Structure 1
Amino acid sequence: MRHPILPAALLSVAFLLAGCSAGNLLSPYRIDVRQGNDVTPEMVAQLKPGMTPDQVRFVLGTPLVVDPFHRDRWDYFYRFQPGRGEATQKRLTVLFRDGRLAEYRGDVEPAPADRIEPPTRVIEIERAPAAEGS
């Protein structure tokens, strides 16, 4: 007499082993994770010695780290972790002396002058006066 459980058990084991061998064919979606301030070479090229902290903040954005013990030092960090692949990191340190930009250093080099776009011109158009009786 044959045991009907034996073929069912063998079939179950075969399916389990086949499921384990799928490997990387089926893997969950992973999002790209960006953290910090993405400081570009074009942004660094706009930094000039003697700029005020407000001007630097306008160009680079709010720093990720402001050390309460060294208020004249701002640190900009950026980390990009793609869903698949290696993470990349960038760091830029901005130093002030007497309330003015003294120097900056880090992984981000300024862009060449020919890669920097000129500032956008803004033309203000005066509004015509409202017609009487409206």
Structure 2
Amino acid sequence: MKIKLILTALCMSFVVSACSTVEKVVYRIDVPQGNYLEKSTVDKLQVGMTREQVKYLLGTPVLQDPFSTQTWYYVYLQQKAYEAPQQHTLTVNFNQAGNVTDFNLDKPLPETKREVVNNAIIEATPQESGSWWQFWK
């Protein structure tokens, strides 16, 4: 009877300890939410741009100030697999004429690495025209 109790307790301890390691084995995808902000596009933002120019550059804002339409918020939340989520908030303020007066990014954006695309044109050498029945030459 004691052996059954010991074996049951041993099996239960293995089952409970195994569940804690399964979490890191399961694949989790990267989850970007909100406006995708890149350092290169945020660097193009300038004081004096119109609302249309900002919307063309950064897209539609996630949040507009409900009490005045002079402030736009671009929020970008990135959660990579098992890492803690990182949130970046860009605040763009406009004047009455609709031009950017100032903008503020809460923390610096990471550099994005772009892969170089090989656009080389490959030209085929022309084949000598021969008889149709000598295709192996």
Compute the TM-score of the two structures, normalised by the length of structure 2.
Answer: 0.66
Is residue 39–residue 108 contact of structure 1 (8 Å, CA) maintained in 2?
Answer: no
C-alpha distance in structure 2 between counterparts of 1:10 and 1:41, whole Å: 60
C-alpha distance in structure 2 between counterparts of 1:90 and 1:23, whole Å: 34
Deviations, residues 42-62 of structure 1 (Å, cap 9, x unaligned): 111211222111110010111
Name the aligned partner's letter for residue 107 of structure 1. Answer: D
Q: Alpha carbon RMSD of aligned pairs, Å? A: 2.2
Deviations, residues 17-72 of structure 1 (Å, cap 9, x unaligned): 12222364322443332221121221112112221111100101110001231201
Q: Which residue of 2 aligns with 1:99?
A: 98
> Higher relative CO (CA 8 A, sep ≥ 6), structure 1 or 2?
1
Question: C-alpha displacement at 1:104, in angstroms?
Answer: 0.7
Q: Which residue of 2 aligns with 1:71?
A: 69
Q: Which residue of 2 aligns with 1:44?
A: 42
How many residues align? The count is: 106
My pick for the range that moved more, 84-93 or 10-19, is 10-19
Is residue 67–residue 73 contact of structure 1 (8 Å, CA) maintained in 2?
Answer: yes
Consecutive unaligned residues of structure 2, counting only runs of 5 or more, are: 110-137
Structure 1 runs (4+) deviating above 3 angstroms are 5-10, 28-31
Consecutive unaligned residues of structure 1, counting only runs of 5 or more, are: 111-134
Q: Which residue of 1 aligns with 2:11?
A: 15
Is residue 78–residue 91 contact of structure 1 (8 Å, CA) maintained in 2?
Answer: yes
Is residue 35–residue 80 contact of structure 1 (8 Å, CA) maintained in 2?
Answer: yes
Name the aligned partner's letter for residue 56 of structure 2. Answer: F
Name the aligned partner's letter for residue 12 of structure 1. Answer: T
C-alpha distance in structure 2 between counterparts of 1:102 and 1:57, whole Å: 15
Compute the TM-score of the two structures, normalised by the length of structure 1.
Answer: 0.67
Question: C-alpha displacement at 1:85, in angstroms?
Answer: 1.8
